Each structure stands twice: as structure tokens, then as C-alpha cells.
Amino acid sequence: MRGTRTSSKKKPAAAAKRGGSKAVAGKEHASVRAKPIELYYWPTPNGWKISIMLEECGLPYDVRPVDISKGDQFTPQFLAISPNNRMPAIVDPDGPGGRPISVFESGAILQYLGRKTGKFYPHEERARVAVEEWLYWQVGGLGPMAGQANHFRRYAPEQITYAIARYTDEVNRLFGVMNTRLADRDFLAGRYSIADMASIGWVRLAERMGQNLADFPHLKRWFETIRARPAVQRAFAIRVPAASAVNMRDPKVRAVLFGQRAK
Ligand SMILES: N[C@@H](CCC(=O)N[C@@H](CS)C(=O)NCC(=O)O)C(=O)O
């Protein structure tokens, strides 16, 4: 049932034009005058990372929904920009040398946008190393562990006690690491950065991973501080109606999302 959409079907439609002029009013930046960035998006923690960064930077962008419950992630057009059949991805028409560039993998997209704008990704080497440590910690640790916790807790056809405990414990450990880190600083790398944007979506869904934020007071304070930012609120407010209608018990949806193999 994979790849149910073919190249003959239309590309995911632009749902909305976002960001840009207001956030950078009076501060014209070459990239802001350029064509909007295409954001290939579905409302999940990985998608939120990039909508948050685009909103924070005031970059204009068009949301292109990738309905991962229907197989949009397997279309040849999407695979051409994101060969891992995962969203998010972006196409920046105003890439290096003024030519378009596509970027997949949320961490690479955040770093690209940070370099492009000079925002939330410091130049100074020590500060940059700290951001990269926590960014890679998220993409290599928190994201995959939380994803598996969510899968075994909510989507697996059987409740496998060992798998649930293994991933729930690991998310608990990782939340504890963040809580300790945040005990004596406001944000993961000191100042607010792409590392925080990468992690907030998973903390937002803490309950689904079997976690209680009240057990992690510094993490809770960090989460509430970031959630209150206007750009983050705008990013979380983006509505993709088709996503709200997805039924994860539907065998057709499960056949698209689960049991994926090379062939
Ligand atoms: N390592 C990737 C992970 C992205 C990812 O897992 N995206 C999920 C949604 S959160 C997806 O596109 N799933 C489609 C599928 O499972 O076929 C990143 O950080 O960008």
C-alpha cells in the first residue's frame, strides 16, 4: 500500500502563506524580499521544529502539506527532495548563489536556516558547539526514543510490556538530562536557539510518552517559556484539517505508515 500517490497526481497543495513582512518590518533582509520558502510539512514534533524556526526568523513560507497517512511521502516529487520519505523538508528558491536548494532532515534544515539568517545559531565557536551538542542530542536521542515510546504505547497492535518500559524509561532519562541541564540556565545551549526549537515538540507531547512534566520542574519552566513566545504560538496554530481527521486505527493508514521496508 506504499506509494499510493503517483507522479501523475498533483503536488501537495500550498495550504497557507506564512511569516515574513510583519516579523521583520522596518528591517529589510534580502531573503525576505525573495520568494517564500516551501515547507513540506505535517503537524508533528518534527514538522513543528521548522515552522517554529521560520516564524522566529520572520521568513516568508508556504506550507505544503505532506499527508503521511496517505503516502504523499513516497511520491517521486517528494522523494526528489527528501529521499528518506520523511517530512519535514524545505525548498528555498533563494538558496546559495541565488539558486534553489532543497534540504531534508530537520537538524540540517534548522542549521541551514540558522546560517541563512544568522539567527538562533551563533557564529562564536563555543556557543555554536553547545547548540550543536544539544541539536544532535535531540535528533539522535530524544526524537527517536520518544518516537518509539509513542509507537509502542499508542500504535503497536499488541501491548509489549518490555518495549513500552524500555522506551518510556529512556524518554524519562532524557527528560531528566534536560531538567538537570536547565537547572542553572534558561535554554539548552544558554541562549534560545535551534536546539530548543528541535526539542520542544517532544516535550509538548510528554503525556503521550508516559511522562509527567511536574516531575521535571526546570524542564516545565523551559517549556512554558518557549510555548509563550508569539512565534511558537503562531507555529503551533497552523491548521492542517486533513491531519486532524487521520484515524490511526484505519488499516489503510497503518499499511502506509507501518511495516515499511526497502521494497
Ligand atoms: N530524522 C527525521 C525524522 C523525520 C520523521 O520521522 N518524520 C515523520 C513524521 S514525525 C514522517 O515523515 N513519517 C512518514 C513515514 O513514517 O512514512 C528528521 O529529523 O527530519
Averaged pLDDT for residues 205-213 = 97
Q: H helices within 94-192, ranges in order?
A: 106-117, 125-137, 143-150, 161-181
Q: What is the 3-state secondary structure (H, E, C) of 30-96?
A: HHHHCCCEEEEECCCHHHHHHHHHHHHHCCCEEEEECCCCCCHHHCHHHHHHCCCCCCCEEEECCCH
Q: How many A from CA of 221 to the centre of ligand 1?
A: 28
Q: What are the tens digits of pLDDT across the range 250-261? A: 999 999 999 999
Query: Considering the chain, what percentage of its residues have pLDDT values greater than 90?
Result: 86
What mean pLDDT, rounded, does the chain reach? 90
Task: Read off the C-alpha cell for 197.
Answer: 526549537
State which ligand 1 atom lies nearest to the alpha carbon of 105. Answer: 20
What is the structure's pLDDT at 263?
77
Minimum CA distance residue for ligand 1 atom 11: 86
State which ligand 1 atom lies nearest to the alpha carbon of 106. Answer: 20
Cα separation, 169 vs 63, whole angstroms: 35
Q: What are the tens digits of pLDDT across the range 98-156? A: 999 999 999 999 999 999 999 999 999 999 999 999 999 999 999 999 999 999 999 99
Q: Is 69 touching ligand 1 by the criterion CB < 6 Å?
A: no
Task: Read off the C-alpha cell for 30.
Answer: 534580502
Whole-model pTM?
0.89
Cα separation, 219 vs 227, whole angstroms: 12
Q: Is 179 touching ligand 1 by the criterion CB < 6 Å?
A: no
What is the structure's pLDDT at 9?
35
Q: Is 44 touching ligand 1 by the criterion CB < 6 Å?
A: yes
What is the structure's pLDDT at 31?
46
CB 71 within 8 A of CB 4: yes
Q: Is 86 touching ligand 1 by the criterion CB < 6 Å?
A: yes
Categorize the per-residue pLDDT at 20 as very low, low, confident or very high, splitting at 50, 70 and 90. very low
Using a CB cutoff of 8 Å and minimum separation of 24, what contacts does 122-128 make?
A: 122/191, 122/193, 127/189, 127/190, 127/191
Q: What are the tens digits of pLDDT across the range 140-176? A: 999 999 999 999 999 999 999 999 999 999 999 999 9
